[in-house]
C-alpha cells in the first residue's frame, strides 16, 4: 500500500513561494493564472495493513508529524501496490 | 541559577549560550543531550538553542520535538520550570505545542542575518523583568523560517494576556511594515505561554551579551532570569 500525501498551506495563510511563482507565470505571459499554491508531496510506503487501518494511521501521521495543522492542511490517497 | 542547554544534532548556538551563561554570567551550566530523557527538576532554566536541528527537514523543529529530551522539557515546563527557546529553539517550542502559533518562511523568501530592533512589550515576566516597558533592544536575527503566524483571534488573545514580549521595531521603537524584517503577524519577535514560564524568540540575545562587544543588549534577558533564582 502506498499513501500519496499532499500538504499545503491553509486558506488565508500567506504562501510567499506560491506568490512569486504566480508573478513569474504572469510575467511569462500566462495571464490566465489566478493563483499558485506550493506545497509538499510525500509518498509513504506501508507494510501489510488493511485500507481501513491505513486510513486511520496515515491521518494520524499527518496530524502528528507530516503537517503542522496550525498553518497546513493535508489530503491523501491510498494506492494498492500489489 | 542552574542552567541546562539542550544539544540537538544540528544545534549551532549551543556553545554561544553556554559561554554567556557560564563564562560571562557565572552560572552553573550543563549540557543536555537530545537522546537523554532525564529528570530536570533540579534546574532553574532550560535553553533550547538556535541552529538547524535535524537539518530543518520537513519543517524547522518538526523532528526535534520528538527527541527523548523533549519529554523531559515538556514535563519541566508543565511543572513551572523556565524554558527559553531561541530561534530554532523557538521553532521547536511551537512544534511541541508549548507555545501557540507557527513559524513560516520569511515573506522575503530569503535567509536574513542582521541586527534588528525589538521593543519590549511586557516587563512583567521572568524573561523581561530587568527591561523597561517599551524599551528598545538591538539584537541580531539569523533565520529563514521566522515569520510568526497565528490566526487574528488568537493574536488578540495573546495581546490581551500580555504574552507578546517583543515586537520588531525601528531604532525609536516605532512599529511599521518596514521595521518588520520577516512578515511576522503583529510584528511579533518573541512571546511566552499563558503561565509566563516558557518563552520563545527569533532574535539571538546570546549573540549580544559578551562585554567584549559593543552591544550587550541581550544580557537583560539573561539578567532577568538570574535575578529571581
Q: Summarize pLDDT for B174-215 with one digit per residue, the tens.
A: 999 999 999 999 999 999 999 999 999 999 999 999 999 999
Q: Indicate which CATH number applies to the domain containing A14.
A: 3.30.1280.10
Share of chain A above pLDDT 70, in %: 100
CA distances from B92 to A82, B83, B145, B180 (A): 39, 12, 12, 22
Residue of A nearest to B102 (CA): A70
Give the integer Cα–Cα distance in Å for B64 and B88: 10
Q: Summarize pLDDT for B106-138 with one digit per residue, the tens.
A: 999 899 999 999 999 999 999 999 999 999 999
Give the integer Cα–Cα distance in Å for B209 and B211: 6
pLDDT over 90 at A26, yes or no: yes
Q: State ipTM.
A: 0.85
Task: Name which of A8, A10, A71, A74 to mutate to probe chain B: the one with the most chain B Cβ atoms within 10 A of its Cβ.
Answer: A71
Residue of B nearest to A68 (CA): B95
Work out how many domains chain A is built from and give that number.
1
Write out the residues of chain A at the interface with chain B, using a CB-CB cutoff of 8 A: 13-14, 16-17, 20, 65-66, 68, 70-71
Q: Summarize pLDDT for A32-65 with one digit per residue, the tens.
A: 999 999 999 999 999 988 999 999 999 999 999 9
pTM for the complete prediction? 0.94
Domains and CATH numbers, chain B: 2-226 (3.40.50.880)
Residues on chain B touching A44 (C-beta within 8 angstroms): none
Residues on chain B touching A66 (C-beta within 8 angstroms): 58
pLDDT of amino acid A62: 98
- Quick one: B157 exposed, middle or buried, by C-beta within 10 A (0-12, 13-18, 19+)? middle
Domain membership of residue A12 as a residue range: 2-79
Give the integer Cα–Cα distance in Å for B147 and B112: 11
Please identify which residue in the block is written with the cell numbers 502559533.
B101
Amino acid at each position: 500500500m502506498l499513501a500519496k500525501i499532499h500538504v499545503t498551506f491553509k486558506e488565508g495563510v500567506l504562501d510567499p513561494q506560491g506568490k512569486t511563482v504566480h508573478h513569474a507565470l504572469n510575467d511569462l505571459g500566462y495571464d490566465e493564472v489566478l493563483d499558485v499554491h506550493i506545497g509538499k508531496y510525500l509518498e509513504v510506503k506501508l507494510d501489510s495493513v488493511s485500507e481501513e487501518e491505513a486510513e486511520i494511521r496515515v491521518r494520524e501521521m499527518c496530524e502528528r508529524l507530516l503537517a503542522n495543522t496550525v498553518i497546513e492542511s493535508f489530503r491523501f490517497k491510498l494506492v494498492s501496490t500489489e | 541559577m542552574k542552567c541546562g542547554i539542550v544539544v540537538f544534532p544540528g544545534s549551532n548556538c549551543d556553545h554561544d549560550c553556554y559561554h554567556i551563561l557560564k563564562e560571562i554570567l557565572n552560572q552553573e551550566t550543563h549540557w543536555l543531550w537530545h537522546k537523554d530523557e532525564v529528570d530536570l527538576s533540579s534546574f532553574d532554566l532550560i535553553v533550547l538553542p538556535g541552529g538547524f536541528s535535524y537539518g530543518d527537514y520537513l519543517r524547522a523543529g518538526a523532528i526535534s520535538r520528538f527527541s527523548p529530551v523533549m519529554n523531559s522539557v515538556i514535563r519541566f515546563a508543565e511543572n513551572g520550570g523556565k524554558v527559553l527557546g531561541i530561534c530554532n529553539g523557538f521553532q521547536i517550542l511551537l512544534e511541541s505545542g508549548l507555545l501557540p502559533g507557527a513559524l513560516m518562511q520569511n515573506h522575503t523568501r530569503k535567509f536574513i542575518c542582521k541586527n534588528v530592533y525589538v521593543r519590549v512589550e511586557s516587563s512583567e515576566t521572568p524573561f523581561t523583568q530587568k527591561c523597561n516597558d517599551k524599551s528598545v533592544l538591538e539584537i541580531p536575527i539569523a533565520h529563514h523560517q521566522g515569520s510568526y503566524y497565528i490566526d487574528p483571534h488568537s493574536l488578540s488573545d495573546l495581546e490581551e494576556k500580555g504574552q507578546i514580549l517583543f515586537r520588531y521595531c525601528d531604532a525609536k521603537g516605532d512599529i511599521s511594515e518596514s521595521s518588520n524584517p520577516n512578515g511576522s503577524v503583529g510584528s511579533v519577535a518573541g512571546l511566552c505561554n499563558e503561565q509566563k514560564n516558557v518563552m520563545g524568540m527569533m532574535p539571538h540575545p546570546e549573540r549580544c551579551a559578551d562585554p567584549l562587544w559593543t552591544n550587550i543588549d541581550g544580557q537583560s534577558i539573561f539578567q532577568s532570569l538570574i535575578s529571581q533564582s
